[in-house]
Structure 1
Amino acid sequence: MARIVVIGSGMGAMASAARLAVAGHRVAVYERAATYGGALGRFERDGFVFDTGPGLLHLPAVYRDLFAKTGKESLEQCVGLVPVDPASRHLFADGTDVSLPNASRAGIVSALDAALGSGAGERWGAFLNRARDAWDRTRRPLLEEPLWPDWQVLGRDPYPAVPRRRMLRRDRVAATVAEIGDWELAEPRLAALLDSHALAYGLDPRTAPAAAAVLPYMEQTFGSWYVRGGMRELARALYERCLARRVEFAFGAEVVAVAEKDGRAAGVELADGTAVAADSVVFGGDPRLLGGMTPGREMWAGGDVAPGPVPPSRLTVLLALRGGRPDGTAHRTVVHSPDAGAEASAAFTGEHAGRPTVTVLRPDDPLTRPDDAHEAVTLTTTVAPQGPVDWTDEALVARNADAVVEAALAAVPDLRERLLWREVRSPADTAAATGAPGGSVPPPSLAGAAGRLLHPGNSTRLPGLLLAGGWAHPGGGLAHAGMSGALVAGLLVEGEGFRGSQ
């Protein structure tokens, strides 16, 4: 039985802790914050309950597998997991309104044809077929296996783009999300639909590789799911599963250094000077922070995947409304920006965006409101992280929150009359709560783009030190974080020869 220290209690870190404890190891988790869950935060006031992180779950099979392999109770026995149908409603800048069913290819094609005109659904369906090919080609190396030593082969884009025929000139194929929208979908609203998926994951449609097509494919194939009481309940269930497996937790315990002995990780040092010995250490945060914890150690050298640029963050506005949720209201509505290019530029440079794309979440969940005469609504948009924008400037935060609310009026026309109060969560708040630099949110790993959207592998150059969570392979998102926990556990239990689930 090995002694394993886990730094942080995000979903990837706790997933690895639960799996390692079941394998017979003694696991202790040290978390700088006062509670578990990382980005899966919660805000409560006056009987209203809001998620401050992800609002939906995709690929629930990841957590079904985790709960099946770490205890007797299934995921569904631990949380109220329900499919969201329709999966999303989309309000485009020209006034077009379309609702897309959950995990139904035929239903999506039919809905797009009805709202956007005959042929639109067929073009989107053909695009999803190509996205499926990209998914099939990269699913195992990107999601189910440790990062390959020859990861450079993943720099080639797996998306089978359609050649763009041009008179007397060499054919070209779409290399980015934006080019797929322009050249293959050839319909501004379909292009906006695709762009919104990329931006929601913190990717710039103008530069994100065509392989990002797997993101809408994943969502529309495997569905969108909600946890009753809010997504924070998923973190609560995983925390309780860890406790049942005798994982020890210490909150308010900041790790400031990783100890090294005989060329491998040998424990950690806490901010209060406490030294904790361990046979292995799992780090669940942004690998950029390891530089201060492992002084003099080269964590990434030539040939390694190193942490990339700091990605965008999110601005979240929590609304407490008087009056009940109207019957037939969609759980999720996306209000699209009239200028996606300006919006993307703002998210990646900090420039002024105008009206952003806003996701409006209105769960039909009695556990999130004081009674049926009130409604809890969450608005989210992708923004630049703390740094390019000074999100500690209260006036700036208020102006941006006002713009988000203004956009959301398309989905909730009576919002202003019903508003009791609002609470705003900026990137600076996220940084303070989670420790993520700039409050940024990691995107998932993607093939293509010469590998620049890959994340550092779960093993590091310091033997015995491994990486879990959204900042490590296979990247950000609830499902991906859970996968990273499985990979870390496999590497520690089976050794460096581990090649993933079969």
Structure 2
Amino acid sequence: MGRIVVIGAGLGAMAAAARLAIAGHAVTVYERTSTYGGAVGRFERDGFAFDTGPGLLHLPAVYRDLFVKTGKKPLEECVGLSQVDPAARHVFADGTRVDLPNASRAGTLAALDAALGAGAGERWGDFLVRAREAWDRTRRPLLEEPQPADPKALAQEPYPALKPGLLRRPTRTLAQVGERELRDPRLVALLDSYAEAYGFPASAAPASAAVLPYMEQTFGSWYVAGGMRALADAVYERCRERRVEFVFGAEVEGVLEEDGRAVGVRLSGGGTVEADHVVSGAPVPALPHGRPARRHPGGGTSRVTVCLALRGSREAGAVHRTVVHAEGGRPTVTVLRPDDPELRPDGDHESVTVTATVRTSPGTDWEPFADRMVEAAERAVPGLADRLLWRHVRTPEDVRGATGSAEVPGPALADADGGWLPAPNLSPVPGLFLAGGWSHPGGGLAHAGMSGALVAGLIVEGAEFRGSR
């Protein structure tokens, strides 16, 4: 078997490394920072601990498959995994609140009717029927198969027309979906929030972004005991069990080429490492593939996260996740309040994270923005201001430090011109493959894990590989 160099120790890169190692390859991971996990980070202080990246897992089947394929212990024996119920509480600009149950279509429709008025649930349910059609059309080509050499095959809008025949009205953007089908501004805000969480503005995002709420509400939201960093720990340990080697503090500056093929990497300081294949799991501009060839028209987005250390325990009726929608000049924020003793000093304290999606803008003073984020979070956490002991702000520059880029990639979406597709797993240079959120099928924990499976399949099976099952 071959020698494989993996650039970066993010979740997608490690997923590829573990699969390649179990296939018999000698795999070495070079990570420029001092730890693994990439965006799946952790901040600790005074007995408090916070996830600084994703706070919940969707499509856990991706990591179940990884653990089944790479060892004897299944995922649930390596991490504590539990469904979050309700999946989310939404607080709208007018003060209306609705708790959406986890992976229950009937429960979701009933909750919307109760909170927003009769008929709201039916409209959302009709929308989910069309979203499922888009999901069925795109699930395999966008998530389970390598991106084709000619992406025109995916450059089609999969979201069904609202009306058939002569009255057919193609729906091009997510904003049109909300305007034509949902009408209630709170339902529209609910729909938009799923795309805007990735920095996809509803006015620009293709109608196929409807698959985002469909995926979450169908397959559920899951929490890993001890925080999402525990998932990164488990994947790292699985890699080590499969004898994957890790070299930390080793920055890759470029890929070595010979006769037009990748044959290794060049490290910072001038050292080189030979390899039969190179897997890039990080957005390193100096590599031959450069930045993704296709980037979504919404432009670069990142995240600001505010870690809040609070005195006092969670009140009765508190929920794990609350989305507080924009109001009064304050941004839309996601407030995570996991009831997890591993994240707090004791039962008389609470760890809370508040996250907002922002445009990347070097040199920005994020403290005033963090002030508005905390003000918005007070609508989700009663008495927050009086309970606050201290806060820690994680900016886009902190994201850059952890991942190599301030931008946070979103999942691939199909549309009429292919502009929302990331770079394919097969780079233009033979022997160089792309894994992780910056490549097909895009960002997010589940998508990153899928990219690792696709790259491993391409290397192990070659041109015959047709995708994961």
TM-score (norm 1): 0.91
* 1:272 CA displacement: 2.2
Select which of 380, 383, 391 maps to 1:411: 380
- Quick one: which of 429, 439, 462 aligns to 1:495? 462
How many angstroms does 1:241 deviate by?
0.3
Q: Offset of 1:274 from its aligned partner?
A: 1.4
Q: Which residue of structure 1 lines up, in the alignment, with residue 326 of structure 2?
A: 337
Matches within 5 A, 1:32-431: 32-163=32-163, 172-286=169-283, 289-290=284-285, 292-294=286-288, 305-307=293-295, 310-338=299-327, 354-387=329-362, 390-391=363-364, 396-431=365-400
Cα-to-partner distance string for 1:252-283 (whole Å, 9 max, x where unaligned): 00011110112211011111221111000000
- The answer to whether the 8 Å contact 2:324/2:376 transfers is yes
Cα deviations across residues 366-394 of structure 1 (Å, max 9, x unaligned)?
Answer: 0000000000000001101134xx23xxx
Per-residue deviation, 1:174: 2.6
- Give, as a single letter, the amino acid of the residue that structure 2 aligns with 1:91: V
Q: Distance in 2 between matches of 1:455 and 1:120?
A: 35
2:432 pairs with one of 454, 465, 475: 465
Structure 2, unaligned stretches of length 5 or more? none
Q: CA deviation digits over 1:103-153, x for unaligned, max 9?
A: 000000000000000000010011011000000001000000000123212
- Amino acid aligned to 1:65: D
Residue aligning to 1:351: none
What is the DSSP-based 3-state SS (H/G/I as helix, E as strand, rest coil) of the residue aligned with 1:450? coil
Question: 1:361 is aligned with what amino acid?
Answer: L
1:432 to 383, 392, 401: 401
CA distance in 2, matches of 1:222, 1:85: 13
Q: Classify the secondary structure of the residue corresponding to 1:495.
A: helix
Code of the aligned partner of 1:254: E
- AA partner of residue 54 (structure 1): P
Take 1:418 and 1:449, find their aligned partners in 2: how far apart are those partners? 49
- The residue identity in structure 1 corresponding to 2:276 is D
Q: What SS does the corresponding residue of 1:36 show, helix, strand or coil?
A: coil
User: Displacement of 1:299 after TM fit?
Assistant: 6.5
In 1, Cα distance between equivalents of 2:294 and 2:415: 16
- 2:446 aligned with 1:479: yes
| Greater displacement, 378-387 / 26-35 | 378-387
Structure 2 letter corresponding to 1:158: P
Q: CA deviation at 1:460?
A: 1.0
- 1:394-434 residue CA offsets vs partner (Å, 9 max, x unmatched): xx311000000111111113000000000000111111222
Structure 2: distance between partners of 1:468 and 1:17: 10
* SS of 1:19 mapped into structure 2: helix
C-alpha separation between the residues in 1 aligned to 2:128 and 2:295?
30
SS at match of 2:335: strand
Q: Distance between the aligned counterparts of 1:374 and 1:384, measured in 2?
A: 33
Structure 1 stretches of at least 4 aligned residues deviating more than 6 Å after TM superposition: none
What code does the residue aligned with 1:356 have? P
> Aligned partners of 1:177 and 1:185: how far apart in 2?
11
Aligned partner of residue 62 in structure 1, secondary structure: helix
C-alpha distance in 2 between matches for 1:307 and 1:251? 29
Structure 2: how far apart are the matches of 1:101 and 1:299?
42
Aligned identity (percent) is: 65
Instruction: Give, as a single letter, the amino acid of the residue that structure 1 aligns with 2:287.
Output: M
CA RMSD of aligned residues (A): 1.7
Once the two structures are superposed, what CA deviation does each residue of 1:455-502 show, in whole Å capped at 9, x if it has no partner? 111001110000000000000000000000000000000002211124
State the distance in 1 between where 2:451 and 2:361 align: 26
Q: Is the 8 A contact 2:295 2:420 kept in 1?
A: no
Deviations 1:302-344 (A, max 9, x none): xx954556521011100000001123211000001138xxxxx
Is the contact between residue 311 and residue 443 of structure 1 (CA under 8 Å) also seen in structure 2? no
State the one-letter code of the partner of 1:335.
V
Residue 397 of structure 2 aligns with an amino acid whose one-letter code is A
After TM superposition, the score normalised by the length of structure 2 is: 0.97
Distance in 2 of aligned mates of 1:498 and 1:356:
44
AA paired with 1:312? Answer: T
Number of residues paired by the alignment?
Answer: 468
Task: Tell me if the contact between 1:319 and 1:419 (Cα under 8 Å) persists in the aligned partners.
Answer: yes
Distance in 1 (alpha carbons) for counterparts of 2:52 and 2:293: 30
Instruction: Give 3-state SS (helix, strand or coil) of 2:247's partner.
Output: strand
* C-alpha distance in 2 between matches for 1:426 and 1:386: 10
1:89–1:99 contact (8 Å) kept in structure 2 = yes
Give the secondary structure class of the aligned counterpart of 1:448.
coil
Q: The residue matched to 1:197 in structure 2 has which SS?
A: helix
Where do 5+ consecutive residues of structure 1 fail to align?
340-353
User: C-alpha distance in 2, partners of 1:322/1:311?
Assistant: 36
Match of 1:344 in 2: none
Structure 2 distance, partners of 1:164, 1:138, is 21
Q: Which moved more, 1:255-264 or 1:470-479?
A: 255-264
Rounded to whole Å, the distance in 2 between the matches of 1:151 and 1:171 is 26
Residue type at the aligned position of 1:317? V
> Hey, what's the Cα distance between the residues in 2 that align with 1:368 and 1:334?
21
CA contact (8 A) 2:161 2:168 kept: no
What code does the residue aligned with 2:136 have? D
User: Partners in 1 of 2:452 and 2:383 — Cα distance?
Assistant: 43
Secondary structure, in 3 states, of the residue corresponding to 1:121?
A: helix
Residue type of the partner of 2:74?
A: S
How far off is 1:154 after superposition?
1.4
Structure 1 residues 360 and 248: CA distance shift in structure 2, 3 A = same
Partner Cα separation in structure 2 for residue 501 and residue 86 of structure 1? 31
Q: What amino acid is the match of 2:199?
A: G
- Take 2:54 and 2:262, find their aligned partners in 1: how far apart are those partners? 32
Task: Give the aligned residue type for 1:269.
Answer: R
